[in-house]
Amino acid sequence: MSVARAVTVMTHSRPREVAPSLQRLMAAARSSDVALHFDDGELRKHGLTAGDGVVAAGEPPGGAGLCIVLGGDGTILGALRRYARSAVPVFAVNFGEVGFLATIEPRDLEVHGFERAFAGDFEELLLPAISVDTGAGRLTAINDVSFQRLVGGRVAQLAYGVEGEEVGSVRCDGLVVCTAAGSTGYNLANGGPVMAWGVEGLGVSFIAPHSLTARALVVAPGDALSVSNRGRDAVDVSLDGRPVCQIEPGDELHAHFEAGVARLAQLPGWSFYRRLRTKFGRLSS
């Protein structure tokens, strides 16, 4: 894998936590002759000034060879969406609670340092996405799309269909559509199925269904999925935890599985099952 000479950097909203690792990153960039590119918000957040030989502003003119993230899954998802459908891999150091998508933990930087990331000494995992058609155009979610009743509003009535056939209509607090990467998030909290990375298709699970018969479903990757609002109130729609729009009563939204959208860096030998045991086993101990 080629050496990255231009690297973009994204961090979460707590700059003090990442400050030591950011200094380590800048030192590694100097020794590796790598330029680190920060957008204006990142420069202000960390009090950095472009033009000191390592730090540059904005996207590299010739394109980035790598994106390094210092943050949790939310920041990592933002980077994966930013570089969706490109050749830029995302190498993430976990500064969140779970960090299921992270490449390494901060304590591992001594062994698996940034020099290794610059040299491309990692494997790339191609992640799928959910493409959602809205009035504002196509939107992309790496983990999940959630439909939730309004805060303080009535219970929602959501129906979903596959290939034009209605599968079910359930009174509930909401519904989640997820990829395999997102199946260990909101979907898992709903009791939905955990889908190993590499499994294609979309998982569908309900949030607090008012039914004894509502069941989760995995939709085949080539099948079009629709979600309809059959209730009397609007329903909030979020992509990867970010509110994006609402669907009004009587309206529906269409979602499609899209393979090979984002590139996630991972250390050799870190299978999905090892990651699952490490992340969730640690949380339950």
Select from 238, 142, 146, 117 the least CA-distant residue to 197.
142
CA 218 distance to own-chain centroid: 19
CA 83 distance to own-chain centroid: 11
Q: Which two tokens stand for residue 92?
A: 């993430």
The neighbouring-strand residues paired with 179 are none
* Cα distances (Å, whole numbers) of residue 31 to 26, 114, 116, 178: 9, 11, 12, 41
The neighbouring-strand residues paired with 66 are 7
What residue type is 140 in one-letter code?
Answer: T
Q: Which two tokens stand for residue 90?
A: 């995302």
CA–CA distance, 63 with 77 (Å, rounded to integer):
20
CA–CA distance, 236 with 252 (Å, rounded to integer):
12
Contact 203/187 with Cβ under 8 angstroms?
A: yes
For the chain, how are helix, strand and coil distributed in percent, rounded to 5? Answer: 20, 40, 40
CA–CA distance, 183 with 112 (Å, rounded to integer):
28
With vertex at residue 266, the alpha carbon angle to CA 263 and CA 269, rounded to the nearest 5 degrees, is 135
The neighbouring-strand residues paired with 157 are 171
- Maximal CA-CA distance, the chain: 62
Catalytic residue among 39, 73, 108, 133: 73
Active site residue 251: no
Catalytic residue numbers read 73
